[in-house]
């Protein structure tokens, strides 16, 4: 198990405290800053490892940065705190984005990111909770994280706890039937503390989702399963932040975050091949310039 | 106990012992929850639901969700007993068992009810003879098959306190009590239920009492059969198996499961590499069962006292 980066964890804790005092603009700025650092780290990780899922990583980064930058009640120094909020990345192939986010928050040292996908590294191509603090369940095969998140929220409800549970799902992943089993269970048990966020980048490994197996009308699907639905721009921090407020209806909440695969790098954006294509050295340089601008 | 006594002895459905012990533990520990897939009745959880309605989670007919929700409950500090008919629990949700439970090291107690050919005439879709092969292929997941009501109670109690995941096979087909005082279950430790020097039968679940009956049949022929109840299939009690091979020189395994990857395969893998002795593996060969009751099917596949006795005679005669 990797261990905490004490300095960075303390910075995370102080930063989260100060944001509450400094207001919304400062919060949005902090989220944006975290997102930029995560994209740059993830780019270097994938460039070095020569593998990864950069397209889906870059579509989900702004969601992760909003959650960790301003929403999740977690303490990187106490990843086992029973009362922590739970975050489950069901689209486990975006492990690179998750690792970079966790490292920038201090869950483990930033230098560890250099070991991504190297022999015997804790940072496998898909996240492992027994090795990486902050990971709640081992994902990778699709359609797994959502039922586990439902169980996390059920436990909180049984215990009378106010802690919240968040799960990020890929849109292509919604073709797995297990997700709809979980959606029914969460609704049946009135799990208002549960928020499911769909990274709606409209692309899956082989083609567009709507060409592969149609998901639309997606908001209607969630509504009909008994969820409170919010549709937002998944790269607009203010919209994202508001959408992650607790449910107001007593229903579990679904945020459909409209995103762009490969977001932030012009030659990757909305292109199917960047699902798991690896940038060349020259492309890494070009992408780094765009992301640093 | 002689064979006649065994045949006349009262028999028990181990699901009842499972449900009673689980309810007792739920009274002692509020972290214990039962999770099922519309299987409240077949898992004998009606009393549990009456006493702890909030702690009986029914996800409906949805086994993937069932196991995932169990893993999440464990993450949230609960001790979930995830209970469903064994064929659907292990077959439908095998990937959840692998990724969400075993690989994630979630403290989930997977309770496969009515395993083997307990559903007789309902046919191979409802038989669970593949589960031991499937689950044995998954790392870090203990497999426990209690053989009678007392052992079922002890295993249920152990599973709640083990701190890790486990797969329990809870029998429906009636079995006699094996006798002896109730005692705590220890993972990986088998029980010698009959001493013997001529050959050893290593059995699990429904086949343990039948192995004892086989020993009684053979004692009249001067064959002194050792019988071991190998309640833990993973991790196997290697010491007991090796000692049996050393001291008796021949081994027969018996299980209500396929012969491809369960108890017999585990014992054979160990013996082939460390103490090659003559062996016979009794179970269901790699085929789908014909129509018939559980007793008919056990007879059909030779999973009876006579079948075990024949295998012991054969291994002694032919090696």
Cross-chain Cβ contact A155/B105 below 8 Å = no
Both B161 and B199 in a single domain?
no
What is the DSSP-derived secondary structure letter of residue A68?
I
Report, as an integer, the average pLDDT of B159-164: 96
Does residue B182 fall inside a structural domain? no
Nearest by Cα to A196 from A141, A262, A243: A243
User: Is A148 near chain B, with CB under 8 Å?
Assistant: yes
pLDDT of A67? 98
Distance from CA of B38 to the nearest CA of A (A): 13
Scan residues 71-90 of A and list those with Cβ closer than 8 Å to B.
82, 86
Chain B residue closest in CA terms to A182: B65
- What are the residues facing A233 on neighbouring strands? A258
Strands (E), chain B: 11-12, 32-36, 56-58, 79-85, 109-113, 143-144, 166-170, 175-176, 191-194, 199-203, 225-229, 232-234, 251-258, 279-284
My answer on whether B171 and B27 are in the same domain is yes
Same domain, yes or no: B304 and B202:
yes
Contact A152 B80 (CB under 8 A): no
The total of other beta-carbon atoms located within 10 Å of residue A285's CB is: 11
Interchain contact, A148 vs B69, CB within 8 Å: yes
- Same domain assignment for residues B54 and B77: yes
What share of chain A in percent tops pLDDT 70? 100
Phi then psi for A121, rounded to 5 degrees?
Answer: -65, 150
Chain B residue set in contact with A, beta carbons under 8 Å: 33, 54-55, 57, 59-60, 62, 64-65, 67-78, 80, 95-96, 99-100, 103-106
Cis (ω within 30 of 0) for the bond into B235? yes
Does one domain contain both B208 and B172?
no
> Model's pTM, two decimal places?
0.97
Same domain for B93 and B150?
yes
Indicate if B50 and B171 belong to the same structural domain: yes
Q: Looking at residues B272-285, what average pLDDT do you find?
A: 98
Interface size between A and B, measured as CB pairs under 8 A:
109
Identify whether the C-beta of residue B22 lies closer than 8 Å to the C-beta of residue B48.
Answer: yes
Whether A160 has its CB under 8 Å from any CB of chain B: the answer is no
What b-and-e string marks burial along A9-45, b requiring 16 or more CB atoms within 10 Å of the CB? Answer: beebbebbeebeeeeeeebbebbeebbbbbbbbbbbb
From residue B307, alpha-carbon distances to A175, A274, B280 in Å are 49, 61, 11
Helix B238-248 vs helix B263-274: crossing angle, to nearest 10: 60
Count of structural domains, chain B: 2
B157 & B210 share domain: no
- Inform me whether the pLDDT recorded for B5 exceeds 70: no
User: Could you identify the residue written with the tokens 């069932």?
Assistant: B66
Q: Which residues in A lie closer than 8 A to residue B75 (C-beta atoms)?
A: 86, 136-137, 148, 151-152, 155
Cβ contact, residue pair A148, B75, below 8 Å: yes
- Which stretches of B218-263 are assigned E, i.e. beta strand? 225-229, 232-234, 251-258
Give the pLDDT confidence of B201-237 residue by residue, as tens digits: 999 999 999 999 999 999 999 999 999 999 999 999 9
DSSP B116: B
Integer Cα distance of A102 and A131 in angstroms: 13
For B179, the 3-state DSSP assignment is: coil
Question: In terms of residue numbers, what domain contains A122?
Answer: 6-292
CA A147 to CA A92: how far, in whole Å?
14
Residue A30 confidence (pLDDT): 95
ipTM of model over 0.95: yes
Ordered strands of the B143-144 beta sheet? B56-58, B32-36, B79-85, B109-113, B166-170, B143-144, B232-234
Task: Give yes or no: residues B146 and B193 share one domain.
Answer: no
Task: Tell me whether residues B72 and A137 touch, CB distance under 8 A.
Answer: yes
| Residue B50 to residue B194: CA distance in whole angstroms | 41
**pLDDT tens string A235-282:** 999 999 999 999 889 999 999 999 999 999 999 999 999 999 999 999
Residue A198 lies in a domain: yes
In a domain, B24, yes or no: yes
Q: Yes or no: say if A97 and A61 are a contact pair by the CB < 8 Å rule.
A: yes
Distance from CA of B55 to the nearest CA of A (A): 8
Instruction: Please state the separation of Cα A71 from the chain's center in Å.
Output: 12
Distances A192 to A150, A163, A234, A254, B282 between C-alpha atoms, Å: 11, 11, 22, 10, 52
Domain at B279, CATH number: 3.40.50.920
The minimum CA-CA distance between A54 and chain B, rounded to whole Å, is 23
Of residues B235, B183, B180, the one with CA closest to residue B208: B180
- Judge: A153–B72 Cβ closer than 8 Å, yes or no: yes
Q: Tell me, yes or no, whether B158 lies in a domain.
A: yes
Q: Which of B217, B306, B199, B299 is nearest to B253 (CA)?
A: B199
Q: Does a structural domain hold residue B130?
A: yes
- Residues from chain A that touch B73, judged by Cβ atoms under 8 A, are 151-152, 154-155
- Tell me what the mean pLDDT of segment B116-129 comes to: 98
Asked if residue A1 is part of any domain, the answer here is no
The pLDDT assigned to B2 comes to 46
Which range of residues forms the domain containing residue B305? Answer: 188-318
Q: Which domain CATH number covers A203?
A: 3.40.50.970
- Which residue among A82, A140, A155 sits closest to B72, beta carbon to beta carbon? A155
Residue B162 and residue B197 share a domain:
no
* Option in A138, A152, A155 nearest B104 (CB): A138
Q: Considering B132, B148, B176, which residue would you say is the last residue of a domain?
A: B176
Q: Which residues of A touch B78 (CB under 8 A)?
A: 155, 158
Q: For residues B118 and B223, state if they share a domain.
A: no
Residue B26 included in any domain: yes
Q: Among A82, A137, A153, whose Cβ lies nearest the Cβ of B100?
A: A137
pLDDT tens column, B241-268: 999 999 999 999 999 999 999 999 999 9
- A124 at interface of B, judged by CB pairs closer than 8 A: no
- What CATH number should be reported for the domain holding residue B121? 3.40.50.970
Question: B184: how many CB neighbours lie within 10 A of its CB?
Answer: 9
B52, pLDDT greater than 80? yes
pLDDT tens per residue, range A190-207: 999 999 999 999 999 999
> Among B33, B54, B71, whose Cβ lies nearest the Cβ of A137?
B71
Q: Number of folded domains in chain A?
A: 1
Both B83 and B157 in a single domain? yes
pLDDT digits (tens, 9 = 90+) for A46-97: 999 999 999 999 999 999 999 999 999 999 999 999 999 999 999 999 999 9
Band (pLDDT 50/70/90 cuts) for residue B7 is low
**Looking at the predicted structure, is the pLDDT value of residue B61 above 50?**
yes
A184/B62 CB distance under 8 A: yes
Which residue carries 């009515």 as its tokens?
A: B114
* Per-residue confidence (pLDDT) for residue B6, from 0 to 100: 52
CB within 8 Å: B70 and A151: yes
Last residue of a domain, one of B115, B142, B176: B176
Look at residues B124, B141, B176 and tell me which one is the last residue of a structural domain: B176
Q: Quick one: pLDDT band at residue B3, thresholds 50, 70, 90?
A: very low
For residue B57, the chain A residues in CB contact (below 8 A) are: 154, 189
């Amino acid at each position: 198990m990797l261990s905490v980066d004490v300095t960075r964890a303390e910075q995370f804790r102080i930063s989260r405290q100060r944001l509450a005092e400094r207001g919304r603009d400062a919060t949005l700025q902090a989220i944006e800053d975290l997102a930029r650092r995560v994209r740059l780290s993830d780019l270097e990780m994938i460039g070095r490892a020569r593998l990864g899922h950069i397209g889906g990583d870059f579509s989900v980064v702004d969601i992760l940065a909003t959650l960790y930058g301003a929403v999740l009640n977690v303490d990187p120094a106490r990843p086992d705190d029973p009362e922590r909020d739970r975050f489950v990345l069901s689209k486990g192939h975006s492990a690179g984005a998750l690792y970079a986010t966790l490292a920038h928050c201090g869950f483990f040292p930033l230098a560890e990111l250099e070991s991504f996908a190297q022999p015997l590294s804790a940072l496998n191509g898909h996240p492992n909770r027994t090795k990486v603090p902050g990971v709640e369940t081992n994902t990778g095969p699709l359609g797994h994280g959502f039922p586990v998140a439902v169980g996390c929220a059920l436990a909180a409800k049984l215990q009378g706890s106010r802690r919240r549970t968040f799960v990020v799902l890929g849109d292509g992943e919604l073709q797995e039937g297990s997700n709809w089993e979980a959606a029914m269970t969460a609704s049946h048990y009135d799990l208002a503390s549960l928020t499911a966020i769909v990274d709606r980048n409209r692309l899956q490994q082989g083609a567009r989702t709507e060409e592969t197996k149609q998901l639309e009308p997606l908001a209607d699907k969630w509504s009909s399963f008994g969820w409170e639905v919010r549709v937002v721009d998944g790269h607009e921090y203010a919209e994202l932040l508001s959408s992650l407020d607790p449910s107001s209806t007593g229903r579990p909440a679904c945020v459909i975050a409209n995103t762009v695969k490969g977001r932030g790098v012009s030659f990757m954006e909305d292109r199917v091949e960047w699902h798991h294509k690896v940038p060349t050295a020259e492309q890494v340089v070009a992408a780094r310039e765009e992301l640093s601008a | 106990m002689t064979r006649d006594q065994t045949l006349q002895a009262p028999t028990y459905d181990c699901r009842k012992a499972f449900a009673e012990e689980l309810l007792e533990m739920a009274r002692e520990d509020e972290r214990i929850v039962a999770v099922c897939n519309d299987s409240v009745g077949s898992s004998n959880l009606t009393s549990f639901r009456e006493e702890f309605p909030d702690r009986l989670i029914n996800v409906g007919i949805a086994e993937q969700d069932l196991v995932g929700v169990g893993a999440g409950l464990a993450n949230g500090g609960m001790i979930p007993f995830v209970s469903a008919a064994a064929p659907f629990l292990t077959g439908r949700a095998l990937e959840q068992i692998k990724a969400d439970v075993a690989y994630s090291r979630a403290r989930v107690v997977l309770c496969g009810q009515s395993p083997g050919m307990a559903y007789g005439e309902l046919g191979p879709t409802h038989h669970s003879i593949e589960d031991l092969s499937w689950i044995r292929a998954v790392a870090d997941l203990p497999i426990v098959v209690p053989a009678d009501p007392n052992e079922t109670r002890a295993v249920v109690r152990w599973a709640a306190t083990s701190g890790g995941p486990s797969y329990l096979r809870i029998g429906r087909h009636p079995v006699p009590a094996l006798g002896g005082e109730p005692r705590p279950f220890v993972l990986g430790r088998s029980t010698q239920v009959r001493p013997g020097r001529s050959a050893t039968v290593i059995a699990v679940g429904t086949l343990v009492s039948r192995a004892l009956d086989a020993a009684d049949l053979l004692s009249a022929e001067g064959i002194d059969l050792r019988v071991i109840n190998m309640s833990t299939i993973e991790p196997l009690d290697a010491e007991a198996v090796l000692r049996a091979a050393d001291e008796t020189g021949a081994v027969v395994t018996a299980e209500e499961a396929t012969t491809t990857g369960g108890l017999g395969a585990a014992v054979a893998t160990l013996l082939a590499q460390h103490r090659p002795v003559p062996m016979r593996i009794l179970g269901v060969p790699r085929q789908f069962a014909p129509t018939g009751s559980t007793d008919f099917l056990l007879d059909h596949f030779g999973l009876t006292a006579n079948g075990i006795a024949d295998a012991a005679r054969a291994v002694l005669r032919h090696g």
